[in-house]
């Protein structure tokens, strides 16, 4: 029996494992490690369920097509909203974790925004300060410090 390659998809036929499609995530030392990627009905499921199968018992699996992305529009929108929420939360946490660089970036951005009032000095330096302050906030909030 030849060992399967990572990212191949298989389904149990004679093996005593839950129904669904499995992705090969590792091979070695006479075992194959599989991740279950669909439920019994064939719908994508992020189960995190890992199964280690002996190479001899892997004959109980057959090749399968990768599961299709079958997310509904509502699921896709809900996932995007959840991702946005956690991104904003992580951004805020990074800003709070680095108060001095955050304060400097906010002051620079505010000077650039407020200093651009009509009748004041030329606009170009303040536009540059606003840009630099916003980029500094993005850099601090990204967690790259």
The pLDDT assigned to 125 comes to: 84
The whole-number pLDDT of residue 94 equals 96
Residue 116's pLDDT is what? 60
pLDDT digits (tens, 9 = 90+) for 62-79: 899 888 776 778 888 998
Q: Could you tell me which residue, 22 or 118, shows the higher pLDDT?
A: 22
Q: What angle do CA 31, 62, 5 make, to 5 degrees?
A: 50
- Cα–Cα distance measured from residue 39 to residue 78, given in angstroms and rounded to the nearest whole number: 21
Question: CA 2, CA 24: separation in Å to the nearest integer?
Answer: 13
Q: How many CA atoms lie within 13 A of 107 on its CB side?
A: 6
Per-residue pLDDT tens over the stretch 21-50: 999 999 988 899 999 998 888 888 887 899
User: 86 falls in which pLDDT band (50, 70, 90)?
Assistant: very high
pLDDT number for residue 84: 94
User: pTM for this structure?
Assistant: 0.54
SS3 state at 14: coil
Q: Residue 140 burial by CB count (10 A; 0-12/13-18/19+): exposed, middle or buried?
A: buried
Asked if pLDDT for residue 57 goes beyond 90, the answer is: no
Average pLDDT over residues 116-140: 82
For 72, the token pair is 């509904």
Beta bridge partners of 12: 61
Question: What pLDDT is recorded for position 119?
Answer: 62
Look at residue 113 and tell me whether its pLDDT is greater than 90. Answer: no
Identify whether the C-beta of residue 50 lies closer than 8 Å to the C-beta of residue 34.
yes
Model confidence band, residue 81 (pLDDT cutoffs 50, 70, 90):
very high
**Domain residue spans of the chain:** 9-64, 73-141
């Amino acid at each position: 029996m030849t060992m399967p390659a990572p990212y191949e998809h298989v389904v149990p036929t004679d093996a005593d494992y839950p129904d669904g499609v499995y992705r090969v995530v590792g091979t070695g030392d006479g075992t194959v490690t599989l991740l279950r990627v669909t439920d019994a009905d064939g719908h994508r499921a992020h189960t995190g369920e890992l199964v280690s199968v002996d190479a001899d018992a892997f004959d109980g699996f057959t090749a399968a097509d990768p599961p299709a992305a079958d997310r509904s529009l509502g699921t896709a929108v809900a996932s995007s909203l959840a991702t946005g929420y956690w991104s904003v939360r992580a951004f805020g946490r990074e800003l709070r974790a680095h108060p001095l660089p955050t304060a400097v970036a906010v002051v620079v951005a505010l000077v650039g925004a407020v200093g651009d009032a009509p009748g004041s000095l030329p606009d170009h330096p303040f536009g540059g300060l606003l840009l630099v302050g916003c980029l500094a906030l993005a850099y601090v909030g990204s967690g790259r410090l």
